[in-house]
Amino acid sequence: MEKAAAVEYKAPENYDHRVKATDPKTGKEITYDHKPRLEVLDAKAGRYAFEWIGFDGQEKRATFYRVDAVDVLVSASVVKLLPDQYQYTYEVKNLPSSGTWLKRFIVQTFTADLKPAYGGQFSSGFMSQDIKAYSAGRWIDFADASDQIHVSPGQSVTIQFTSPSPPGLVECRAGAESEIEGADEEMPGDIAPLLNAYGEYLHGWTVGPLDDLKSYSADQKVKYLLAKLPRFRELGWITDEAFNRYQQMLNNHDLNSLLAHLDEDLRLEQITTELFAIIEATR
């Protein structure tokens, strides 16, 4: 998965003084300069420290990781359990190069009928469509709900759900835990927005349920595959040799010949399980 454009984390240059109390006689707010600061503890790992002067006049310090402080690799496969039921399986690897543990994996879907399961301690829910990055489709969010068991660097988690909708190309996102640690009082409000970095999650592509594909004609399926084929090659889901063959067969509207080669191409690693699932579902 790829990281979003780098966002510079820095303390606010202009900020309001913090409200400490209210004058009982005048009713006016009593404020003080809490001097918010940000320190880079480990740039490679994405670890930072907030520092400010607390309500008690003492220096406060809290640490956190950027949400993009992980390196993640996702592989997906789909099995048709029943004529109208697909099981989607995702292996989400938190690579050894990650700076911290994996907190969540989020998959885009285009269906209202989905039954999630989960692997390990991951629980599921849906992202709000009011968030711009998650407004298209329904994004299911699998988050690590435990305090003791984490998907640490070098570990992986398997996540599953079922849907009657066949697989197509969708987006996915992943991120680290960004909650602060070490503070003994509430964090200043002018620093808190740094933690709400939904747009900074790692971004990638995978397979997910698409309702529209259920009603596609054979010609529409061919057009869909032809339109997505260049992206499949960019993602490394198909070799150049297989790409040329598939493109020729699809241009000839010969979907049957393509399907006839599918198992062998997967065995020879000419295509990945993701592309196999998308084409297999066109039968």
- Residue 9 has what pLDDT? 75
Q: What is the mean pLDDT of the chain?
A: 89
- Residue 263 has what pLDDT? 97
* Residue bearing the bigger pLDDT, 177 or 159: 159
- Residue 47 has what pLDDT? 86
Domain assignment present for residue 31? The answer is: no
Residues 241 and 265 in one domain: yes
Domain assignment present for residue 231? The answer is: yes
pLDDT tens digit sequence for 207-246: 999 999 999 999 999 999 999 999 999 999 999 999 999 9
Domain assignment present for residue 255? The answer is: yes
**Count of structural domains within the chain:** 2
Residues 105 and 207 in one domain: yes
- Residue 70 has what pLDDT? 92
- Residue 150 has what pLDDT? 76
- Residue 257 has what pLDDT? 94
Domain assignment present for residue 16? The answer is: no
Report whether pLDDT(154) > 80: yes
Residues 207 and 251 in one domain: no
Among 211, 235, 267, which residue terminates a domain? Answer: 211
Residues 114 and 142 in one domain: yes
pLDDT tens digit sequence for 170-208: 999 999 877 677 778 888 887 766 665 555 789 999 999
- Residue 192 has what pLDDT? 66
Domain assignment present for residue 98? The answer is: yes
Residues 161 and 226 in one domain: no
Residues 203 and 236 in one domain: no
Among 211, 234, 260, which residue terminates a domain? Answer: 211
What does the DSSP assignment read for the chain?
-BPPSP------SS-PPEEEEE-TTT-PEEEE----EEEEEETTTTEEEEEEE-TTSSEEEEEEE-TT---EEEEEEEEEEETTEEEEEEEEEE-TT-SS-EEEEEEEEB-S--EE--STTEEEEE--TTSGGG-SSEEEEEEE--SS--B-TT-EEEEEEEESSPEEEEEEEEEE----BS-SSPPPTTTGGGG--GGGSEEEEEEEEBGGGGG--HHHHHHHHHHHHHHHHHTTSB-HHHHHHHHHHHHTT-HHHHHHTHHHHHHTTSB-HHHHHHHHTT-
- Residue 185 has what pLDDT? 85
Residues 203 and 235 in one domain: no
Average confidence (pLDDT) over 117-122:
58
- Residue 198 has what pLDDT? 52
Average confidence (pLDDT) over 151-162:
91
Residues 139 and 264 in one domain: no
- Residue 48 has what pLDDT? 87
CATH code at position 106: 2.60.40.2230
Residues 172 and 251 in one domain: no
pLDDT tens digit sequence for 43-66: 878 888 889 999 999 999 988 888
Average confidence (pLDDT) over 164-168:
97
Domain assignment present for residue 130? The answer is: yes
Report whether pLDDT(73) > 70: yes
User: How sure is the predictor about 10, in pLDDT bands with cuts at 50, 70 and 90?
Assistant: confident
Domain assignment present for residue 169? The answer is: yes
Domain that holds residue 256: 216-280
Residues 204 and 103 in one domain: yes
Domain assignment present for residue 65? The answer is: no
Among 188, 211, 234, which residue terminates a domain? Answer: 211
Residues 203 and 249 in one domain: no
Average confidence (pLDDT) over 94-120:
86
Residues 207 and 226 in one domain: no
